[in-house]
Each structure stands twice: as C-alpha cells, then as structure tokens.
Structure 1
Amino acid sequence: MLLVSAGPDGPQATVYNTYPLNDCRPELWSRLDAEALAKEHGALTALLNGPRYWLMDAIEKDMGDDREIATFGGLQMYRQAVVTLSSMNPPPYVPNTVARNAVFVFDAGRPVFELVDPDGAHWVMQTWSQIVDPALGYDDLPHLAARLTLPDGWSYRTRTLEDPLRVDTSSQAAQVLQDDLTNSYSLVADQT
C-alpha cells in the first residue's frame, strides 16, 4: 500500500506492507478501495501496490521498538519506507528514490533477475508483481525478456550468484525502478 502526499520535492509515497505481520489474505486485499483508503488516511491518493512477492533471501533492517502499524481494510501493515516519486504516475524504467534503510540479501547459488541499463549499471529484481499480469509466476521470470518493452540500450538477464549479493541501502537512499509489468528492481551499487 502506498499513501501519496505532497512532499517538499514533489509527490512522495509512504510505503506499507504486510511482511512479516500476515500473509496478505487475497480475500481482504481484493476488497480494498483505494479512494476510500486515501480519504481515511488523509492522503492525496492511495495506490494498491500488489500482489507482490519478495525475491531476496533475507532483509536486514533495524525497525526499532516502536514500529508504526496501520490497518487497511482489515490488513495490518508496517510502515516500511518513503519513496520520492518521479511523478504522480512514474513511467517504467525511471528510478525513484526510496528511504528504506535496509539491506537486501540474495544468497549464493540462487538465480537473480536483472536489468542492465545503457551505462552498464545492474538493477536486481527485488519483487515480482501480479498487478499487470495476475498469472505471472516465479517460473516465468527467467524468460521475461521476451515480454518486456525495454528502452534502447537496456537488457534483461538471469544469472546464478557465485557469491552472496548484498544491496545495502542502510545508510543511503535506494534507487528503485519498475519494468512495464510493475516488477521492482534495486540499483546494485557494487557491480558484481
């Protein structure tokens, strides 16, 4: 769930998710009304940013002792991050700045799914989404290149990690973008 408000540098979204509170029961999620939730929570708009599935093997994050929990249509969610949006409707393949203070860990020996931009920067898929294609599954991800409308100079690849991959944004903002199927990717600062 993203609650969008006016920020000092344009639109910003406060991000809430159910992890690790609950499994985001589909029957509750399907009944959420974005307009009603925006009004209830005093937001300009609410964006139903799911269903979404994590791909990393671990998340390291100091949430402190006083974690903010909000309830959306019966689903309890933790406040996880604030995203400075590039626009009210960010296009695919355009980065947004995310203050999430976390480390995403992808284990060695596991596949990762990446975008490589024209400058050679790697963007690792952090979540796959069923927003655009409700039937998209994990087994589809290695073959996603044929379905994406990549900008000139971009490529999509699958690779198996020889060493663990740590996307460390614990002390700096993350750069995150989405493809045209709304799968989300984090910029990998150290190219490996």
Structure 2
Amino acid sequence: MPHAEIIVFTKDADGPGATGVVYNTLGLPVDFTDEQFRALDPAALAAEFHSDAVWMNGPRRALVDAATAELGDGGRVTSVEGIAMHTVADIHVPDLQTFLSAQRPPYKQLTVGRTTQCLFLKGSEIHELLSPEGHQYVMQSLSRHVDPDLNLEQLPTLGERLQLPEGWQYRVRTLDEDLRVSAHGDAHIVFDEYENNYQRHA
C-alpha cells in the first residue's frame, strides 16, 4: 500500500539533538501520488508547523498484511498540503543535522515512541536484517526516496545491493506461522541505505 510520512522536528534547548512528531498516511484513504509527496517543500512545511525542520520520509510502500496503531492528537487528521495524515509517533535524534544530512548513518538503531502492532500472515515472504548482536528486524515498508523505482519484486535480491556492515545479514524467508511485530511505547527500528524501514521483533 502506498504511504508516506513527515517528521516535524523541534531542536533541544541544549545540544544538537531534536524531538520529532511523526505524521503518517497509513489507515487513511490513499489520496496522493508519489509525485505529489515529492513536490512538498520541507522548508515551507517547517514554517507552517512553526518547527525547526521537517524530514520527508517517503514515498513508501507498506509491506504488512494488517496493522493497528494508537493515534496521537485525539486521532485528528492533519492536512499536509492536501495529503491527509495522522499523528502516530514521536522520536528523539541525538544530532538533528546528522539525521537530516545525506550522510545519515544506516544500520543504527533508533527508538520511536509509538504503540503499534503489525501482522505478517503465514505464507508471506518477509525481508529481514540480522544484526551482529543477534537481533532480527523485519522490513515494514520499502522507500522510494533514494531509488524511485524500488518495488516488491526487487526485494528478494536486495541483499546483493546493500553495503552491509560487518556482521550484518539480509535474509528473505517465507513464514510458516503468523508473525506479529508489536511496540508498546517504544519501537526499535533501523534503516538501510535505501531508507527501507525495519522494526526489531527478536
């Protein structure tokens, strides 16, 4: 399913970090195109939201079979230049400029404050990152920001394109039972260099 999100950042009073509020289109009718999302101006949005910066996360394609989320702001729908979004999470980054830069480091775990449950059904093909510490992260959505042509059919061989750090692995497998990936206040996620999003489930 097509979706996209923006993160509206406010700088910390001290230090280089910032707190972000996450707005996401999931659960709402798909009323936008990839081109419409790409045309959004983050500087203009930052001014509109009275924030220090806005990060454009997407456009994306959700890979889950079903999902539920606890919404913020009372479930209110916010129009982001005509694109309907819910408030779904918050995040703190230790260095805002590094996060916003093209050198944002992939394969670094971030903690996102949210309450969600994602379901991948038995028989589904899932795509995972395995960390040197033994953690497993399942891809929840692919990004078409870095590679506008990335699609589901390319994911089985994506590992051949990733510049995985030492000890990391990319794995594709078919589920022999349903997989539920839950977050109750905190979700631990990583991005690869294409900005595909993976959440830790083990």
TM-score (norm 1): 0.91
SS of 1:50 mapped into structure 2: strand
Deviation at residue 150 of structure 1 after TM alignment: 0.5
SS of 1:134 mapped into structure 2: coil
SS of 1:51 mapped into structure 2: strand
User: Which of 132, 141, 147 is equivalent to 2:161?
Assistant: 147
1:162 aligns with 2:173: no
User: Which of 2, 5, 9 is equivalent to 2:10?
Assistant: 5
1:162–1:22 distance in 2 versus 1, CA, 3 Å = same
Letter in 2 for 1:96: L
> Residues 9-68 of structure 1, C-alpha deviation per residue, up to 9 Å, x if partnerless?
932221111122231512432321100000110111111111111111111234489313
Q: Which residue of 2 aligns with 1:177?
A: 190
Contact 1:86 1:96 in 2 (8 A): no
1:55 aligns with 2:63: yes
Equivalences, count: 188
**Aligned-CA RMSD value:** 1.8
Identity %: 36
**Structure 2 alignment gaps of length 5 or more:** 1-5
Q: What is the rounded CA distance, in whole Å, between the counterparts of 2:188 and 2:31 in structure 1?
A: 26
Deviation at residue 112 of structure 1 after TM alignment: 0.5
Deviation at residue 109 of structure 1 after TM alignment: 0.6
Q: What is the rounded CA distance, in whole Å, between the counterparts of 2:115 and 2:189 in structure 1?
A: 13
Q: Which residue of 1 aligns with 2:3?
A: none
Contact 1:28 1:73 in 2 (8 A): no
1:108 aligns with 2:113: no
1:53–1:71 distance in 2 versus 1, CA, 3 Å = same
Q: Which residue of 1 aligns with 2:80?
A: 72
Contact 2:60 2:141 in 1 (8 A): yes
1:32–1:139 distance in 2 versus 1, CA, 3 Å = same
Q: What is the rounded CA distance, in whole Å, between the counterparts of 2:11 and 2:76 in structure 1?
A: 20
Of the structure 1 ranges 116-125 and 1-10, higher mean CA displacement relative to structure 2 is found in 1-10
User: Which of 25, 31, 40 is equivalent to 2:32?
Assistant: 25
Contact 2:7 2:56 in 1 (8 A): yes
